[in-house]
Amino acid sequence: MISRIAILRNVQRCGPKHCVNCSYSVTSRQFSVNAVLGREPVPAKAPPKTVEDINKFVLNAKYAVRGRIPLLAESLKEQLAQNPESLPFSKIINANIGNPQQLDQKPLSFYRQVVSLLQNPEIVNQLAPEDLAKLYKPDVIERAQRMLKDVGRSVGAYSNSQGVAGFRQTVADFIAKRDGEPANANDIFLTSGASGSVAHVLQLFCSGPENGCLIPIPQYPLYTATLALNNATALPYFLDEESGWSTDPHQIEEVVKSAIERGVKPNAMVVINPGNPTGAILSADNIEGIFEVAAKYGIVVIADEVYQENGFDDVEFISMKKVLRVLQKTQPGAYDNVQLVSLHSISKGLSGECGQRGGYMELVGFSEEVKQVVLKLASISLCSVVTGQALVDLMVRPPREGEPSYEQDQKERNEIHESLKHRSSLLHRAFQSLEGVSCQKPLGSMYLFPKIDLSKKAIAKAESLGMAPDEYYCKELLEATGICTVPGSGFHQVPGTYHVRTTFLAPGTEWIESWKEFHGNFWDAHRD
């Protein structure tokens, strides 16, 4: 029998015509081999998949934080690398995303020292005691050994899908101390950042257009993107900029009623506190109003509290769980049906460990049956990154007074906090000095969200380019200064208003001065 390789050689040699060697008419190299071997001809090749074949819900999802302006910034960064003199700036300032360590925030030493021992525990046995003592304080070694015992030898192994039990207990202890209320480790799920928690919860309660989720406007695009992936309905409620981005329970209830009238069931409600992108911190009264609506309509409250360590001007952060427990005690029966999912993450706060992907969610008021379904979802991806879980443990239980690492850890934390507070104040004052710009004072998180009263000329120019007006402003800012921000339209906003979201993480003042100079030039060029 003629070998497959021999036939292919003959076909390649003879081409698409009568082949003497093969004794048959070759009309296509694609099926000549099959014909000689007595097989059915192979049909013509199908075309490759294109964007038209992609899940439409994926195409509908948008994430402005890494949208058109950040993509342009990456292109300009490559241009600078190839030709440093080609642009009017020397580097890109990534003020578009809360990525602290990208912008020179140093990692906390205690975290990294413990994690280094988790990754390489043998170093304890390989070094002489005096050499080991130069590298690691005793509490670092003790903590790493305890955590390895919790993990079960190696952070390279899968953990329980809900998360390492010992780490979850540490989280429960932290919550109990923070709120003065009991917390149960069985209600804690360790996840790949807060984003992993969001994906789980919205997948549970918001699937299909008949199911809705209330989201604050301006909002963090993660929520609208995740809802789009689930083909669920986003139900926007507006924060009041003039009163410090506060909530209005009456307006929220109107959104709920309107959704029900349209046949959309409001299953969940997102509350971001401290706010992203607004930098606001909700009062206890604001939170109580939210729970009133949630209790009345059976809405699951998703409390995104990843910025709870980022508070300035001595404004107190109050967790939603703490407020809920007070309401349940003072008004027995009225709030017993409220279900709350609280999120936290190592990415923000004083940790800034965005790339390590660690976070947790606490489920409050849910049955064991529901928690088992959440566990099933978590099990599909086996477990979150174990070193990320370890960093959650370290975040919620840092060195305590009297322990060897305490003073150094406190010094580092205070430096980070004071630096962020100073930078936020500098940038806020700069915005307040700009013509046509107003900005609420930042109380928390790591962002400012200034409002820019763009001229008719600027709006018309943006429309001629097929861009939102604030996106046009951001594009011009980037191309003139290298400062990458996010247009407020990516977070949604009150119609007719225009905003920009920027972090204040970048060190120094040179970039702020560049922004001020750009704004003056832009304003003069676009006067009506």
SS (H, E, C) 368-416: HHHHHHHHHHHHHCCCCCHHHHHHHHHHHCCCCCCCCCHHHHHHHHHHH
How many domains are contained in the chain?
4
Q: Are residues 464 and 375 in the same domain?
A: no
Q: Are residues 449 and 516 in the same domain?
A: yes
Query: Which residues form the domain of 70?
Result: 63-104+418-525
- Whole-angstrom Cα distance, residue 423 to residue 274? 17
- Helix (H), strand (E) at residue 359: strand 359-364
Residue 183: inside a domain: yes
Residue 50: inside a domain: no
Residue 185: inside a domain: yes
In this structure, the strands spanning 93-94 and 483-484 are parallel
- Whole-angstrom Cα distance, residue 108 to residue 408? 9
How are strands ordered across the β-sheet holding 340-345?
A: 188-191, 359-364, 340-345, 300-304, 265-272, 211-217, 233-238
Residue 482: inside a domain: yes
Q: Are residues 260 and 377 in the same domain?
A: yes
What is residue 280's predicted lDDT score, i.e. its pLDDT? 87
User: Domain boundary at 362, 396, 430, which?
Assistant: 396
Q: Are residues 320 and 466 in the same domain?
A: no
Q: Which amino acid is at 175?
A: I
Tokens of 399: 């060195």
- Whole-angstrom Cα distance, residue 319 to residue 274? 10
Q: What is the pLDDT along the chain (528 residues), one digit of tens a residue?
A: 445 545 445 544 444 444 444 444 444 444 455 555 566 666 678 878 777 777 777 777 766 556 789 899 999 999 999 998 999 999 999 998 878 777 778 899 999 999 999 999 888 888 888 888 888 999 999 999 999 999 988 888 888 899 999 999 999 999 999 999 999 999 999 998 888 888 888 888 888 899 999 999 998 888 888 898 888 999 999 999 988 888 899 999 999 999 999 999 999 999 999 988 888 899 999 999 999 999 999 999 999 999 898 888 777 899 999 999 999 999 999 999 999 999 999 988 888 888 888 999 999 999 999 999 999 988 888 888 999 999 999 999 999 999 999 999 999 999 998 988 888 899 999 999 999 999 998 888 888 999 999 999 999 999 999 999 999 999 999 999 999 999 998 888 889 999 999 988 888 889 999 999 999 999 999 998
Measured in residues, the chain has a length of: 528
Phi, psi at residue 94, to the nearest 5°?
A: -85, 80
Q: Are residues 85 and 179 in the same domain?
A: no
What DSSP state is assigned to residue 262? T
Q: Are residues 326 and 442 in the same domain?
A: no
Tokens of 324: 């809920």
Q: Are residues 236 and 332 in the same domain?
A: yes
- Whole-angstrom Cα distance, residue 455 to residue 69? 21
Of 112, 110, 154, nearest to 356 by C-alpha is 112
Q: Are residues 177 and 295 in the same domain?
A: yes
In this structure, the strands spanning 300-304 and 265-272 are parallel
Phi, psi at residue 447, to the nearest 5°?
A: -135, 155
- Whole-angstrom Cα distance, residue 159 to residue 47? 42
How are strands ordered across the β-sheet holding 486-487?
A: 447-448, 500-503, 486-487
What is residue 41's predicted lDDT score, i.e. its pLDDT? 66
- Whole-angstrom Cα distance, residue 497 to residue 158? 48
Q: Are residues 96 and 122 in the same domain?
A: no
Is 217:493 a contact under the CB 8 Å cutoff? Answer: yes
What is the maximum span of the chain, computed from C-alpha positions, in angstroms? Answer: 96
Q: Are residues 260 and 387 in the same domain?
A: yes
- Whole-angstrom Cα distance, residue 426 to residue 386? 38
Residue 100: inside a domain: yes
What is residue 25's predicted lDDT score, i.e. its pLDDT? 44
Helix (H, G, I), strand (E, B), or coil: what is residue 31? helix
Tokens of 49: 């998949």
Residue 46: inside a domain: no
Cis bond before residue 332 (omega within 30° of 0): no
What is residue 26's predicted lDDT score, i.e. its pLDDT? 44
Query: According to DSSP H, which parts of 182-248 are helical?
Result: 193-205, 221-229
- Whole-angstrom Cα distance, residue 125 to residue 24? 74
- Start-to-end CA distance of the chain, whole Å, equals 84
- Whole-angstrom Cα distance, residue 360 to residue 273? 16
- Whole-angstrom Cα distance, residue 374 to residue 343? 14
Residue 407: inside a domain: no
Q: Are residues 67 and 167 in the same domain?
A: no
Q: Are residues 366 and 433 in the same domain?
A: no
The domain that holds 212 is classified in CATH as 3.40.640.10
User: Domain boundary at 396, 430, 463, which?
Assistant: 396
- Whole-angstrom Cα distance, residue 100 to residue 415? 14
- Whole-angstrom Cα distance, residue 278 to residue 245? 7
Of 417, 409, 422, nearest to 512 by C-alpha is 422
Tokens of 422: 């100073």
The domain that holds 151 is classified in CATH as 1.10.287
The domain that holds 426 is classified in CATH as 3.90.1150.10
What is 75-129 written as a DSSP string? Answer: HHHHHHHH-TTSSSSSS-EETTS--GGGGTPPPPHHHHHHHHHHH-TTHHHHS-H
Residue 127: inside a domain: yes
